[in-house]
Amino acid sequence: MYNPNMALLIEGFQRAFSLLVHLDPELLGIIYLSMKVSGLALCIAAISGIPLGAVIGLRRFFGKGLVVSILNTFMGLPPVVVGLFLYLILSRSGPMGFMGLLYSPTAMIMAQIILALPIIIALSLAAVTSVDETVKQSAQALGATSGQISYLVINEARYSIMAAVIAAFGRVIAEVGAVLIVGGNIAGYTRVMTTTIALETDKGDFELALALGIVLLAISLIVNAGLHLIQKKGVRS
């Protein structure tokens, strides 16, 4: 029996594959911007988050339990809430409104940093905390300074830390709420994969949405495969 919705879906898939096969410039532009925004956000979050997580994990200080609880809570920050807060800060009347960053890729990067940072800090912290105490004590007994011990511990936890970075990437590349609010979904400027999918689905033009959906799924698959490989290597070594 003929089902018009099914036919629409099949046609959408056919056109999506055609866009992918022919390397449609619009499609490529959107993928490039997505990777650029999420990649930069991830780099900044990793550079600042890994040492911060290591420091919190290695030091003893008053209120550490509270800090860890807050970080764990922030790991599940709803992207729309992050988008809303950043919007209020970056909007013309907000404290950073004078910088004119709203509806720019920079604002999107800022939003994704806020989303990635707690994941990287909290998981790096857990990674360094799980390093065997005897390893730290052995380094100390062999004459390492506290800085050298910290470096060694981060190195020992490298596979878990890499997994933390990949988990954060999986979160930011797939989120839509925050980038939509602070990026505005401007074609050719702030339109990324997830916001395009939302917009095109709203319009009923499924081919571009489906093509991007396939790319997102492929990225997700690669990320998860990478995570699996890293974890396997970590267990084996």
Partner 1 sequence: MNRNLTVEIKDIGKSYRGVKILKDCSYVFEKGRMHALIGPNGSGKSTLLRICGLIEIPDKGQITYYENNHAVEHTIELRRRISMVFSKDGLFNTTVFKNASYGLKVRGTGFRARHGRVKEILKTVGLWEKRKQSAKTLSAGEGQRLAIARSLVIDPEIIFLDEPTASLDPANTALIENIIKKLIRDTHKTVIMATHNMFQAQRLSDRIIFMHEGELYDEGLTDDFFERPKNEIAYQFLSGKLIY
By the rule CB under 8 A, 69 interacts with partner 1:
no
Q: How far is the CB of 175 from partner 1 (least distance, A)?
A: 33
Question: Among 4-12, 138-146, 161-169, 224-232, which window interacts with partner 1 (CB under 8 A)?
Answer: 138-146
Burial of 191-216, coded b for 16+ CB within 10 Å and e otherwise, reads: bbbbbbbebbeeeeebbbbbbbbebb
x-marked contacts with partner 1 along 141-180 as a string, rule CB under 8 A: xxxxx--x---x--xx------------------------
Please report whether residue 3 would count as binding partner 1 according to CB under 8 A.
Answer: no
Q: Is 138 near partner 1 (CB under 8 A)?
A: yes
Helix, strand, coil abundance in the chain, percent, nearest 5: 80, 0, 20
Q: Under the criterion CB under 8 A, does residue 216 sit at the interface with partner 1?
A: no
- 130 is a contact residue toward partner 1 (CB under 8 A): no
Neighbour count for residue 86 (Cβ, 10 Å)? 23
Of 155, 124, 123, the C-alpha closest to 139 is 155
Distance CA 49, CA 121 (A): 5
- What does the binding site for partner 1 look like in residue numbers (CB under 8 A)? 132, 134-135, 137-145, 148, 152, 155-156, 237
